[in-house]
Chains A and B, each alone.
Chain A
Amino acid sequence: MKSELLNTLFECVEFGKINLESPYPPQMKGMPGADEITREALESGITPDEILNEALIAAMDKVGQKFSEKKIFVPQMLLSAKAMNASMAHLKPYFADGSVKRKGVFILGTVFGDLHDIGKNLVGMMIEGAGWEVIDLGVDVKIDAFVNKVKEYPGAPVGISALLSTTMINIKPVIEAIKMVSPKTKVIVGGAPLSAEFAESIGADAYGRNPQEGIKWLESVYRS
């Protein structure tokens, strides 16, 4: 029963089945989704930790792999993230009372001068799906906003994105300001025009070509 429910929840997240009403994916039409299965799992005594680790994180990891291999694309990934969020909503009380712990806090934002958010949102969803609490500062984020959040969450890694070659240069002063107040804070950067070389040249600690790379890097920071 336990393993069956966790497997079903895994599939709901992998294939983006949010709830009973959701018409997607067609092969799961009319079946309960992540919302209903999570409720049933909790009622049956499965722990939030088991739900988080054995279903949600594991499923989102598979989603990330499929995305990296171009077996699925952004729409399918967004649906998986929505299914994960539907499940996570049931776990919120357990996060709040400390009975389930996240891996850490990740601060995220699109650099000032840039209003693009789809890449940042994808990264945020995937990292949340990997078990982190994501503080999303939004788009066009000024230097002070990053710095203030770093002060509020000492040690939390920071992700900064840019989609334009004209705005990626704005990342450098943000990193400088962050390192000024918190030299040990790690910063990862990403976005279509960026590269590993550019990331290194502006003082970033890492470059994430896709959400999966960001998660791998985060896991290494978390473990260290």
Chain B
Amino acid sequence: MQTWKSNFEETKQHYLDWWNHKGIVLSMWEHIPKDGEPYENVPPPPPSKDLNQFWFDPEWRSAYLHYTMSRNSYLADILPIANTQLGPGSLAAILGSELEAREDTIWIREKPDFDGRIVFDENNKWWKLHKDLLKACKARSQGKYLVGCPDLVEGLDVLASLKGPDNVLVDLVMNPEDTLRQLQDINTVYFRVFDEIYDIINVEGEMGFCYFSLWAPGKVTKLQADLSIMISEEDYRTFCQPFLREQCNNIDYTLYHLDGVDAIRHLDAVLEIESLKAVQWTPGYGQPQGGDPQWYPLYKRILSSGKSVMINWVTLDEIAPLIDNIGNQGLHINVDFKSEKDIEEALKIVERYR
């Protein structure tokens, strides 16, 4: 595969090492434009007619992604992955929720007639859109970049998008058996959908994920349970951990997205999942971001459990102290780069530790 990322083989080795709890990956959240000429002179599509076309028209969106991918920087370990996301948790749409196009994101509306059954419908319009979009992007990419897996999400978060978070939380107490059955059914559909997506987007077995800068030489996904900040540790072990474990056992490379200070109390349960490979930490708005020394003990805790760690929104001046304090093995550092000059600066620092 000859991509627009000239150092992709080197980056792949960094990722392989990282998944194996070694070395450092230096990347960023999504992309910035490259300096100079594009990799190819790809014409931009005409302006989108409306938000629905911007997000939900496979031909238009694949053309737009192709255009932007031809102009992105892939220095350091920044990945050539087209972001095909269809909302944060689009598995819920595949199961009957509605997607609503907004300026900067896609909203997922609860399924108004949810009757408690988790039913996968091969003819669901949003499932069809997932496949059409991914196929259109794959056809256009011609191996020059990877097509990312949309942010499907799973478990309690998907259930919340179907029947509302209040109802999910009440049912944990009032209808625990039904809830466990629904979560199991969600996992079953997840694997069905995920595998079909993998079949569309993989290139020689390799795969990329839309968010969290993820590449792997096999199936890879990001896992989460954002709703868990509202439940006890005991409930997490009942309603989250078994289903996450099943995902980790079935998917080759998995990263857990730990979101917010209130989620830290579930970290022990997360780290108990033997086949989970890495944990990403999101401190949340209003908190010091990923490179702050406040989080060093958290990173050490993750690393000492045998998992790799992903650290986001690190600034240039935080990189060296971070590595000095938590070591140089199993780190994925995402920097909020503003320019290719920033990337070169960060590379110089990281190379000292490789």
Contact surface of A with B, Cβ cutoff 8 Å = 16, 22-24, 73-76, 78-79, 82, 113, 115, 117-118, 121, 165-166, 168, 192-195, 198
Contacts and interface: CB of A to CB of B under 8 A. Distances in A.
Contacts, number: 52
Given A118-B165, A193-B284, A75 B230 contact: yes
Contacts of B284: 192-193
29 contacts: A16-B173, A23-B174, A24-B173, A73-B230, A73-B231, A73-B232, A74-B230, A75-B169, A75-B170, A75-B231, A78-B169, A78-B170, A79-B170, A115-B107, A115-B109, A117-B164, A117-B165, A117-B166, A118-B166, A118-B169, A118-B230, A121-B166, A165-B285, A192-B260, A192-B284, A192-B285, A193-B286, A194-B285, A198-B286
The 7 closest A-B pairs by CB, nearest first: A193-B285, A74-B230, A165-B285, A195-B286, A75-B169, A118-B165, A75-B173
A198 B287 CA distance: 12
Interface in B144-192: 164-166, 169-170, 172-174
B104 interface: yes
Contact of A75 (B102, B104, B164, B235): B235
Contacts of B104: 166
Interface residues of B, number: 21
B239 to A, nearest CB: 10
B166 A78 contact: yes
A82 B170 contact: yes
Nearest to A24: B173
A193 to B, nearest CB: 3
B43 to A, nearest CB: 30
Nearest to B231: A73
Contacts of B164: 117
A17 B95 CA distance: 33
A3 B172 CA distance: 33
